[in-house]
Amino acid sequence: MSTQPGSKVTIGAIAAEAGVSTATVSKVLNGRSDVSAATRERIQQIMARRHYQRRGARRRGGIVDLVLNELDSLWSIEIIRGAEETLRTAGVSMVLSAAHGSGAATSAWLDQLTARRSDGAILVVSDLNLRQRTRLTSLGVPFVLVDPVGTVEAGVPTIGATNWAGAVSATEHLIGLGHRRIAHLAGPRQLLCSRARADGFRAAMEAAGLDVPQEAVRHGEFNDSSGYAETTALLEEAARCGRPLPTALFAASDLQAFGAYTALRERGLDVPGDISVVGFDDVPVTRWTAPALTTVRQPLQAMAEMAARTLLRLVDGEEVDLPRVELATQLVVRDSTAAPRDGG
């Protein structure tokens, strides 16, 4: 049996289809642990399929949750700025939560959201499992995902950027300057945006007839310490194996690029004289680094603004015509890239 969104589905109907008591369904709705895993999953699947919403759940209490894995990164600050401005203009307060990629932390955040009767949630670089998604739906709490971790169920509102195209433009810029030995500091393998950027790098290299050796792509985290560690490992491995150094690095985030700057300078390598560097995101500090960083501008504030506007529409009971939106990226050329001294 299938139910269209907006239809009234009762706990009794869910219980009857699942072959359990209404009390058991109520326990699942409230996150109680005294229900077997198999029974819980069966009930959650039925609720998701039949679009169950708790009666009276939708309200306008004037609070929206913004959930990020980390609150202290330059990337996160841009997201916070965009969402806060849009929500404040609409007269809605914003509560910040940090999930830290932890299931326990996410469950705690869901409990807090329920307690404060939030109107909705914007989840950034998150991956909701069936239990979490069902709980939000059953409470009548709409949500929007920004740069989700994995593949998203059809119909879930999602805001992202053209990561693949941005990576292609960054790599083509380096190739156009004459670079042939280009390495990529990739992000975490499990993130869709990381995979898209790595795929864009490979696509541009292959289109130019250039090989991508296995050691030329190094996966890490989107932070400066990872950029430093992976660049150091790249340089040390090249020296140990007697391979020529790359003449350019494309980092999947600006923070990784900053870490690469430090690792290169510690080894007496000049940017861009010895190795050109390109980042991704265009956080505000990139224009003030020495040298100013060439990077791919990801419209972080605009992504957050659109997510906030979309969520407010959902809170008001409106439908979203385009559940998946990707905003355009743009290459910003500054001083960290130049033609290779040895011709590539």
Average pLDDT for runs of 10 along the chain of length 344: 53 89 78 78 83 56 85 86 90 82 61 84 79 80 86 82 97 98 95 95 98 95 96 96 95 97 97 98 95 97 94 82 89 98 74
The pLDDT of residue 244 is: 94
170: tokens are 């960054």
Residue 316, burial from CB neighbour count under 10 angstroms (0-12, 13-18, 19+): exposed
The pLDDT of residue 6 is: 40
The pLDDT of residue 101 is: 57
The pLDDT of residue 139 is: 80
The pLDDT of residue 58 is: 47
Q: In b/e form, how buried is each residue of 222-257, taking b as 16+ CB within 10 angstroms?
A: bbbebbbbbbbebbeebeeeeeebbbbbbbbbbbbb
The pLDDT of residue 4 is: 45
The pLDDT of residue 255 is: 96
The pLDDT of residue 8 is: 65
pTM, rounded to two decimals: 0.80
